[in-house]
Amino acid sequence: MALLFTENIKIATDSLKSNKLRAFLTMLIIFIGITALVGISSAIDALKGSINSNFTSMGANSFTIRNKNVSVKIGRRGKRSQKFESITYKQALRFKNEFTFPVTTAVSTMASFSARLKFESEKTNPNIQVFGGDENYISTSGYDLEKGRNFSTQEIINGTHLVIIGKDVEFDLFKGKQKALDKYITIGNGKYKIIGVLASKGNSAGFGGDKVAIIPLTNARQYFGSKDMSFTINVLANNSNALNVALGEATGLFRKIRNVPLGENDNFEITKSDNLANILIGLMSNASMGAIIIGIITLIGASIGLMNIMLVTVTERTKEIGIRKALGATAQTIKTQFLIESIVICLFGGFFGILMGIIAANSISLMLGSSFFMPWFWIFTGFIVCMVVGLLSGYLPAKRASLLDPIECLRFE
């Protein structure tokens, strides 16, 4: 049995060699389909991992209290859109002082969404986010210090002109030629002394985690403040088990601070750190389904093309089939021979398709700052799909070949 199987593989290989162009074109279609299936699906898995890593670094046990967005109500009376009041500094500070649950609480605000920072003749693009934060802001936001130190409580109270910058800002302003610590840079109209540089978080999926600068909260209020400036509260629980309890306690306390009447909806919103990640991953899952559909459609086209080529092969090798049957080959042997040939074509094309898919997926992964990975699930899926396509495409031609009459085959010209 093993000898017969080996012989069938050899015959299939010889057939491919004798029709190189035809075999190459068929393998190319299989190659494209498997590359689409394995490459895109694996790349999306890499994106999911990158998003998870990004948001985990922001604090998996944290939640954020911020101002609620504008709400539009449509009804028979045509009510106007409702604009919620900003969270004031006093409200945020009161929450921080009164929230006695064992958590770390930080108050922050957006000082500038698109600032340009300068050092001597060097300057950044006008896309740097400047935050005003307190002494707990770095830890509750998932940042780590690579160099320097954090703000002290006294520096926050005094609103000292100090700044902690992200890695991209350090590179743009200093190009690695000199140390950033203790240098003075310009933000807006003020000079700020650099006391720390944040460890890189990466800018995956468009999130500018390294294009930031953090100044003391009091300083941000004084020099970047506006009438409707809103403040954000970050809460970091000690462990994930306490997160939901802390969230419930925080909601009750902040409703009291914001004077929300009993039975009314919250006029603020609380977002867990993993909510946005889950939304993005859900969108990625839809994209993954789309990639699978594209791959399947391509493989259906490939299987039709392969079936057509196998039918042509059966016609061309009719006399050969007659000789094999005359020498004692059974119908099952002939059928197996053509099925194996069909599978071999698919496996050759599929192998290179999987290889290209791995290269494409890891190229995207490395661009996102992730490490090399092997998408084993999609590799095995690719090989199984190749086997199935080969069987389905080769069955009809193989069945036709097995039913041919040996006498008629020998007469065939």
In sequence order, what are the residues at sequence separation of 6 or more whose Cβ sits closer than 8 angstroms to the Cβ of residue 258? Answer: 87, 91, 266, 267, 268
Whether residues 186 and 264 share a domain: the answer is yes
Whether residues 126 and 46 share a domain: the answer is no
Whether residues 192 and 327 share a domain: the answer is no
pLDDT string in tens for the chain (413-residue length): 566 667 767 776 777 777 777 778 778 878 887 887 787 777 777 776 666 655 555 555 788 888 876 444 444 444 454 567 889 999 999 999 999 888 889 999 999 988 999 998 888 988 899 999 999 999 888 788 999 999 999 999 999 999 999 999 999 999 877 888 999 999 988 999 999 999 887 654 444 578 899 999 999 999 998 888 899 999 888 776 777 788 888 889 999 998 888 888 888 888 876 655 566 666 666 767 777 787 778 778 777 877 887 888 788 778 888 888 888 878 888 888 788 888 888 888 888 888 888 888 788 777 766 667 777 887 888 888 888 888 888 888 888 888 887 777 777 65
Question: What is the predicted pLDDT for the residue at 384?
Answer: 86
Question: What is the predicted pLDDT for the residue at 209?
Answer: 72
Question: What is the predicted pLDDT for the residue at 51?
Answer: 62
Question: What is the predicted pLDDT for the residue at 74?
Answer: 42
Whether residues 69 and 49 share a domain: the answer is no
Question: What is the predicted pLDDT for the residue at 271?
Answer: 81
Question: What is the predicted pLDDT for the residue at 358?
Answer: 85
Whether residues 223 and 170 share a domain: the answer is yes
Model-wide pTM > 0.85: no
Question: What is the predicted pLDDT for the residue at 4?
Answer: 64
Instruction: Compute the distance between CA of residue 232 and CA of residue 56 in angstroms, rounded to an integer.
Output: 19
Look at residues 212, 213, 217, 247 and name the one whose alpha carbon lies nearest to residue 232. 217
- Longest Cα–Cα distance in the chain: 103
- In the chain the first and final C-alpha atoms are separated, in Å, by 32
- Tell me which of 272, 289, 312 is where a domain ends: 272
Q: What DSSP string runs through 295-313?
A: HHHHHHHHHHHHHHHHHHH
Whether residues 47 and 155 share a domain: the answer is no
Report how many domains make up the chain.
2
Domain assignment of residue 209, given as a range: 62-272
Phi, psi (degrees; rounded to nearest 5) at 239: -150, 165
Instruction: Compute the distance between CA of residue 295 and CA of residue 349 in angstroms, rounded to an integer.
Output: 14
Instruction: Compute the distance between CA of residue 39 and CA of residue 358 in angstroms, rounded to an integer.
Output: 6
Question: What is the predicted pLDDT for the residue at 90?
Answer: 92
- Tell me which of 240, 272, 304 is where a domain ends: 272
Question: What is the predicted pLDDT for the residue at 92?
Answer: 92
Whether residues 33 and 76 share a domain: the answer is no
CA dihedral 364, 365, 368, 372 (to 10 degrees): -140
Whether residues 264 and 228 share a domain: the answer is yes
Question: What is the predicted pLDDT for the residue at 71?
Answer: 44
Whether residues 97 and 161 share a domain: the answer is yes
Whether residues 161 and 258 share a domain: the answer is yes
- Tell me which of 272, 306, 335 is where a domain ends: 272
The Cα-based distances of 294 to 29, 43, 297, 300, 410 in angstroms read 13, 15, 5, 10, 44
Helix orientation angle between 318-326 and 275-316, rounded to the nearest 10 degrees = 70
Whether residues 245 and 339 share a domain: the answer is no
Question: What is the predicted pLDDT for the residue at 292?
Answer: 75
Contact 108, 234 (CB under 8 A): yes
Question: What is the predicted pLDDT for the residue at 70?
Answer: 45
Question: Which residue intervals of 86-197 are DSSP H helices?
Answer: 89-98, 137-140, 153-158, 167-174
Question: What is the predicted pLDDT for the residue at 129?
Answer: 92
Whether residues 93 and 210 share a domain: the answer is yes
Question: What is the predicted pLDDT for the residue at 35?
Answer: 82
Question: What is the predicted pLDDT for the residue at 336?
Answer: 81
